[in-house]
Amino acid sequence: RQYTSHAMAEILRDNGITQSMSRKGNCWDNAVVERVFATLKGEWLYSKYPTRQEAAADIEQFVNWYNHRRLHSANGLVPPALREVQVA
């Protein structure tokens, strides 16, 4: 329920994020982020981190790598950030 609250919608709006939710029982809106998390857990995170800051820094590196360097077969082997530039 927290994701459908007015407070959450306001936070997203204030940060320029478009909230997207499909009807109940339809998982397609969540598929992309689930793929990202599966890659993060399966290809990137190999150990526990001594501090929260070290984990956050490593995850930030992952997001940069995932968006700018990792080749995605669904994008014709182009990273998402580059694909966005090509489509725009």
pLDDT digits (tens, 9 = 90+) for 1-45: 556 788 888 998 999 988 777 677 666 767 778 888 898 998 888
Q: Quick one: tokens of 1? A: 């329920």
- Beta strand segments in the chain, E: none
pTM equals 0.60
Are the C-beta atoms of residues 78 and 72 closer than 8 Å to each other? yes
CA separation (Å) from 5 to 28, 46, 51, 53?
21, 35, 31, 29
